[in-house]
Copies of this chain bind each other. A is one copy, B any other.
Amino acid sequence: MDYSVKEIAAALGAVAVGDTTRKIARAAEPATAGPADLALAMNPKYAEGLAASAAKVALLWPDADWQSFGLEAAILPDRPRFAMAGLTRMLDAGQGFANGIHPSAVIDPSAELGEGVSVGPLAIISAGAKIGARSVIGPHCFVGQDVTLGADAYLREQVSIGARVQIGARFIAQPGARIGGDGFSFVTAEPSTVEAARHSLGDQGDAKLQPWARIHSLGAVTIGDDVEIGMGATIDCGTIRNTVIGDGSKLDNQVHLGHNVVVGKHCLLCGQVGVAGSVTIGDHVVLGGQVGVSDNIFIGAGVIAGGGTKLMTNVPAGRSMLGYPGTQMDKQVESYKAMRRLPRLLRDVEALKNAVFKSGKAD
């Protein structure tokens, strides 16, 4: 962290203007930016704050009149939002995990560690595990039996990975991410109340109540390249085959994937999303926070679901969805508006009934 304006602009493929030899200490929001900081003011709504600040260097929008803000230098990327990816990668101070194998780690002699692997204090690597080159296994992490983890993985503290899970390159796991628990699959000796209710939608007053027998998970989890899993997220094993997460998909904190789920490539699953067992999700799907997906359904490629949506039936590719139950977004918004008019509607219909039927009677 002591780049010049010129170096940063070059790394971002952006235009640099003014005194581009100035050094940057850190990035800052305009309100708190000092003369040694790079103020981030990525669209004109930040212009006023920037002009009032002590900032002398800023990352701005493409055609910004940078000199009008009292700056001595500026970086002008084509798409400032995208430039944030490169900039924050350059300036990330990281967690400070030490290189090498900490002496307190417990590593089975049969585990295979690639070149340059680091293992933090009190981490455990089990028999038969294979860790790709340059991967970092954080403090208190647990890597189970016969796990395969690709090159350049970065596991934060207290991550757990169960037996036989297979993970591609450049995997990132946030603290306490959990991969490879058993699926939640139970069955009764005779058809259960749930099986009955799915058909009838009715009550089951006299259905036979029985204990649950456990269906063990024989499968594991297969995760592609460039996947990231959030804090406290939980990924279940498959029953017979593996649960799957495709290349480039990112799962936020507390996301839950049930057994046999298939997530496509380049999906975003936001905080607290829950996906029930045996769901298939296509590529480039985006599920907002707290979205729920019912078991055994199909979500097509490119689907977007707004926060809190409950997807309960198959969704064709490319749809934008919202609501409970999930409905096409524009229709759902129309429905929300109609609901707000409901109390008035009830009064209108009452008035109509009085006018039509009472006057009818009076005839």
Contact = CB atoms under 8 A, between A and B. Distances in A.
**The 7 nearest A-B residue pairs measured at CB:** A96-B145, A85-B213, A88-B216, A231-B234, A338-B342, A205-B318, A174-B181
Contacts of A122: 106, 122, 124
Interface stretch (A21-29, A50-58, A63-71, A111-119): A21-29
Contact of A95 (B162, B175, B203, B323): B162
Contacts of A180: 175
A362 interface: no
Contacts of A307: 276, 292, 294, 310, 312
Interface of A: 26-29, 32, 40, 79, 81-82, 84-86, 88-89, 91-96, 102, 104, 106, 121-122, 124, 126-128, 139-140, 142, 144-146, 156-158, 160, 162-164, 172, 174-176, 178, 180-182, 184-190, 193-194, 197, 200-205, 207, 209-218, 226, 228, 230-232, 234, 236, 239-241, 248, 250, 252-254, 256, 258, 266, 268, 270-272, 274, 276, 283-284, 286, 288-290, 292, 294-295, 301-302, 304, 307-308, 310, 312, 317-320, 323-325, 327-331, 333-336, 338-343, 345-346, 348-349, 352-353, 355-357, 360
Nearest to A26: B218
A219 to B, nearest CB: 9
Looking at A214, A236, A353, the one whose CB has the most chain B CB atoms below 10 A away is A214
B178 A231 contact: yes
Given A187-B85, A324-B324, A96 B144 contact: yes
A354 to B, nearest CB: 10
26 contacts: A28-B240, A79-B190, A84-B215, A85-B213, A88-B239, A96-B128, A142-B157, A157-B162, A160-B176, A175-B178, A181-B231, A184-B271, A209-B302, A211-B266, A212-B268, A231-B234, A234-B254, A254-B254, A256-B271, A270-B276, A289-B292, A294-B307, A323-B324, A335-B340, A342-B342, A355-B357
